[in-house]
Amino acid sequence: MSPRRSLSSAPTIRDVARASGVSTATASRVVRGEDKVRPEKVAAVERAVLELGYVPNSAARGLVERRVGAVALVFPEREGRVFTDPFFGAAVSGVSSALDDAGLQLLLVMTGSDDSGERMRRFVRGNHCDGIVLASQHEESMLDMALAELMAPVVSIGKPPRRRDMPYVDLDNPGGGQLAAEHLLESGRKRIALIGGPHDMAAARERAAGFEAELARHGVTLAGRVDGDYSYASGARAFDRLVEDVVDLDAVFAVNDLMAFAAIQRAKAQGLSVPGDLAVMGFDDIDVARAEAAGLTTVHNPVRTMSAQATRTLLRLIDGGEVAERMIAEPRLVLRATA
């Protein structure tokens, strides 16, 4: 048997799952002594526990054995973004609807500060919830490190950080970027620019990558690119830079709707007509994009549906059931007035 690690590097349930070749959820069920796991998996997990010297956290064990009747929706974002970006409202709506059907309460947790990892540890040790739905993931975050220590089941809305092993519900983001590029090219646009998103978020990178790849497939070079942080203000700054740097710009694709709206307003302020002089497209299809006055051409992201699916997946894990590790939704082009 290998020597037990120091407390600072104590093995986690994720280590046990990796060593035994099963999912984290399955390893957790074996450690809890549940009887809905195949014998060969039980044997593999028990071997890994002995070899690693894994000791379950008593607070986490109490969490899963004594139901609280609540699920936490965790946003690793500051309050300002959560309450201004409609994406988060749609996620809350989807999770809440699934929990209503199950008779459970929803806890909203925002962990946007620098010490979010320790805050998350304190939250879970307090036995406040039976499981976690995680949304808006940033890579290399303290929250990711904290979640790796938990026995409570976690399901992600969107692709989780590379180091995390958890079921997730995601959108085909590269495919959505491809749809946007196809439409602009078919509309005859040639000087096309991109407003990208945060570099540490997989969805933003994948939307931009799918868009650029489709342009390249048609022999079109991106006329310019400036990245924002998904906020309206960053979209306005990005558009102003693009107009300064790109001659004869005739189309802009922003990887979320808020930045697209900012681009439209800045374009009009500079005397450009939309879509006459400039086509503008967004991504997400937030509620305001559907208003007649807005009329934003965009790519539909079924956030409510995906959030509800993630929540139902979490509830199955809490009850000891097996779930799919990955569920991918299809994007859809929505044609309106701006492109």
For the whole model, what pTM was predicted? Answer: 0.76
Mean pLDDT for all residues in the chain: 85
For residues 136 and 224, the model is more confident at 224
Residue 112 sits in the same domain as residue 130: yes
Closest CA to 131 of 149, 158, 151: 151
Residue 80 sits in the same domain as residue 50: no
Cα–Cα distance, 249 to 244 (Å, whole number): 10
Cα–Cα distance, 269 to 250 (Å, whole number): 16
> Would 336 be classed as within a structural domain?
no
Residue 294 sits in the same domain as residue 177: yes
Token pair 């960053």 is at which residue?
Answer: 234
Q: Tell me: the pLDDT tens digits for 269-316?
A: 999 999 999 999 999 999 888 776 679 999 999 999 999 999 999 999
Closest CA to 257 of 165, 146, 166, 338: 338
Residue 215 sits in the same domain as residue 283: yes
At 175, the amino acid letter reads G
pLDDT reported for residue 293: 63
User: What is the enclosing helix (H) or strand (E) of 190?
Assistant: none
Specify burial of residue 104 (Cβ count, 10 A radius: 0-12, 13-18, 19+): buried
Q: Tell me: the pLDDT tens digits for 33-87?
A: 776 788 888 889 888 888 887 876 544 444 445 577 889 998 877 777 777 888 8
Residue 126 sits in the same domain as residue 50: no
pLDDT reported for residue 4: 38
> Would 2 be classed as within a structural domain?
no
Residue 14 sits in the same domain as residue 159: no
- Domain harbouring 30, CATH code: 1.10.260.40
Closest CA to 95 of 49, 57, 129, 146: 129
Say what angle helices 39-52 and 13-20 make with each other, to 10 degrees: 120
Parent domain of 89: 65-170+303-330
For residues 311 and 71, the answer to whether their CB atoms sit within 8 Å is: yes
CB under 8 Å to 102, separation ≥6 — which residues? Answer: 315
Q: Tell me: the pLDDT tens digits for 233-272?
A: 999 999 999 999 998 999 999 999 999 999 999 999 999 9
What is the mean pLDDT of the segment spanning 141-162?
73
As for how many domains the chain has, the answer is 3
Residue 27 sits in the same domain as residue 110: no
